Amino acid sequence: MDVLSDVITVARTGRPRSAYVRWHAPWGQRFAAVPGSAGFQVVLEGSCWLLPHDGAPLRLDAGDVLFLPHGSGHTLADHFESEVDAPTCAPNDLELTESYASDTVDPTGRNGPVTVVLCGAYRLDPSQAHPFLLTLPELIHLPADPTRYPELDAAVRLLAAEVGNPRLGTSATVPALLDTLLMYILRIWLARQPQAERATGWAAALNDPALTAALHAIHRAPAEPWTVAKLAAEAGLSRAAFARRFSALTGQPPLAYLTWWRMTTAARLLRATDAPLRAIATQVGYTSEFAFANAFKRTHGRAPGTYRRKD
């Protein structure tokens, strides 16, 4: 697994939830904040406006993707001066479903221009959120640009085709496409960061070939008895230069990140499998079950067995 794939795999829980909504102008809809999730809006037809709680209105056109990594509340409307008289909408109000995008029609019956939006959320486990996710801005807007973002455009088109005309297999296809959409959003956001903003932080680390080589090694084989020297060799740097660069960009020493990743992997295995503790300890690089249990409790505040039994 590469780092970005793991970032999504360990943090996301369940299947992404979505709704396919048609609104007839004039309209306005508030979306409640959803802690522990990442929200998204994809404009499939027509246009609308994002009305942030603070800041200038933002026009969204067909093909635009709006991503809210921290589940922030927001408002959409057909025009930036429209009255928003609809009550705040929580995810379940739009019949978000675990299987495929539901078809929800604006109940007002107005005859104005139509806007079609795919909205929904990825549920996240805060205890397993990668530090990279925590550094993302409140809002990421990716304007439609088939020439610059052909993969994102293709994913949006496929989603529009599936949710606009549900068929056999749609319940499996839509969640897979939503996962693909999330990957493209994060990949594009990383690539878009100005060089000046890549000096520090996880965006810089994931754009640094030397550090990504070491990070991939950790994620690929967490049980390996890694040392700073071995990771520096993976990065193609001297031990001292690697340690300085890793700490400067990620905010923690290499072996501290290794321990965090091992404990995050162990937490996922405890919840997702019935493997014995000794086997999980071995998979994350501990030859002693006792040492593993102590390290796990220091990280998660609970013994592995207690963590596994939690509802």
What's the pTM value of the predicted model, to 2 decimals?
Answer: 0.85
pLDDT for 163 equals 81
User: Buried b vs exposed e over 64-103: b needs ≥16 C-beta within 10 Å?
Assistant: bbbbbbbbbebbbbbbeebeeebeebebeebebbeebbbe
pLDDT tens digits, residue range 259-278? 999 999 999 999 889 999 99
pLDDT tens digits, residue range 213-222? 999 999 999 9
Q: Exposed, middle or buried by CB within 10 Å (0-12, 13-18, 19+), for 45?
A: middle
pLDDT tens digits, residue range 274-289? 999 999 999 999 999 9
pLDDT tens digits, residue range 285-309? 999 999 999 999 999 999 999 998 8
Mean pLDDT of the chain: 86
More confident residue, 104 or 186: 186
More confident residue, 81 or 247: 247
User: Given its phi and psi angles, is residue 258 left (phi above 0), alpha (psi -120 to 50 degrees) or beta?
Assistant: alpha
Closest CA to 255 of 292, 214, 204, 296: 214
pLDDT for 83 equals 61
Contact (Cβ atoms closer than 8 angstroms) between residue 120 and residue 40: yes
pLDDT for 108 equals 55
More confident residue, 112 or 143: 143
Q: Which residue has the tokens 């299947």?
A: 15
Q: Which residues contact 251 (CB under 8 A, 6 or more apart)?
A: 131, 201
Domains and CATH numbers, the chain: 3-192 (2.60.120.280), 203-309 (1.10.10.60)
Q: Which amino acid does the sequence have at 224?
A: E
pLDDT for 201 equals 87
Q: Which residue has the tokens 């933002």?
A: 58
